[in-house]
Amino acid sequence: MGNVTVIGAQWGDEGKGKIVDWLSSQADIVVRFQGGNNAGHTIVVRKKKIALSLIPSGIVRKNTISIIANGVVVNPKALLDEIKELKKSGIKVTPKNLILSENICLILSVHKEVDKIREKLKGENKIGTTGRGIGPAYEDKIGRRSIRLSDLRNKNKLNDKIKIVVDHHNIILKGLESKEISYKKIINEIEEVKSSIMKFSQRTNPIFEKAIFERKKILFEGAQGVMLDIDHGTYPYVTSSNTVAGAASIGSGLSVKKLGFILGIVKSYMTRVGSGPFPSELNNMIGKKLGEIGREFGTVTGRKRRCGWFDAVLTKYALSVSGADGIALTKLDVLDTFKEIKICVAYKLFGKKIDYFPISEYEQENVKPIYETFKGWNKSTKGARTWSELPALAVKYVRRLEELISNRVVILSTSPEREDTILVENPFID
């Protein structure tokens, strides 16, 4: 099978954008299968940075089709704004190279309003949501009251569904002593974007079937990271969707047998945005240095990321629940100037050593890292494109990571530039 499924194997921000962009040069179709415009990634093309939140990275490729599949929740205005920004960068977005599954669920202004109010009321116990309405939109989907793209075709059916959504959320807003949303506001909101967004809507199942029959290469692009998965992550400090590899099947309508090579993106150290447990976090000058060198600020929100040493226990768990066949290791060059580098190889929990990542929220908050210490290589790895260009101590660090996470490096990234990539094995194997 010549397909590849890409997932983040930490808390997101692993550098998926560059890897997906690099892989998309070989793909015929790139599919985004979960999340919303709360996720973002930056790709660098001709030394120009392009930030994407909803549209798959394949959009920058001339002969590649990008599909936003049914597992994604879409804010129509955010999508149209992103299309405008791409146009400014000289990238044409048309119904020929961008397709929206007709069964995607929409994010409306009421979802954003509820999201922000609820997060504010949590105070110190806030989750760290981006306030973009992703959670409430997924709640409506599970509650079977979502407005889907296909609903926009029939005015009477659409109006009935808008009333259901507005009535439901106004009960919540009233209970929170907040201003209620008017039915007319939502109708106008949808009418403003309806014609612009509907031209991208298609049945995606026949497209996938044809692609499989013709042996086309499909790249499935995940957002965020496994440790933010609603079932398998650091619950409740997680996103509202499943981010593991299996979600690519549910979020696209393709069989799990068609997901192909499962590639976990892994950063050479750890970062996290927002609240939640972070065993190897460094609240010191080392953590600050990691953040400064790695430019660790959120693509979508601009929020500063928390930084720490590589956590092999947590990463091994994330790769295991996704069934990863190999990893792409990113940002190795960020570690170039450290005299000493550490890897978390186990935890101490209430005085007892454990070698697994606990599921209990209470235990996650109380684990303490046990480290192995490595001598830093103090040489530049930036721009290396072969193993022989890497310092011996850098290679030793990578090999130890492979042992600890029980997985192999198939791609090694040494800078944000597309070309600065060491290819050990091509995930696109026929």
CA dihedral 78, 82, 87, 93 (to 10 degrees): -90
Catalytic residue among 21, 41, 111, 311: 41
Tell me, yes or no, if 168 is annotated catalytic: no
Rg (CA), the chain: 22
Q: What is the largest CA-CA distance in the chain?
A: 68
Q: Which of 13, 140, 311, 420 is catalytic?
A: 13
**Residue of 34, 174, 170, 33 whose CA lies nearest to 111:** 170
Tokens found for residue 390: 């890497």
Q: 223-257 burial by CB neighbour count: b if 16+ within 10 A, else e?
A: bbbbbbbbebbbeebbbbbbbbbbbbbbbbbbeee
CA distances from 241 to 63, 120, 306 (A): 30, 21, 22
Query: How far is CA 39 from its chain centroid?
Result: 6
Residue 339 burial (CB count, 10 A): 8
Residue 41 a catalytic site member: yes
First to last CA, the chain: 5
What is the set of active-site residues?
A: 13, 41
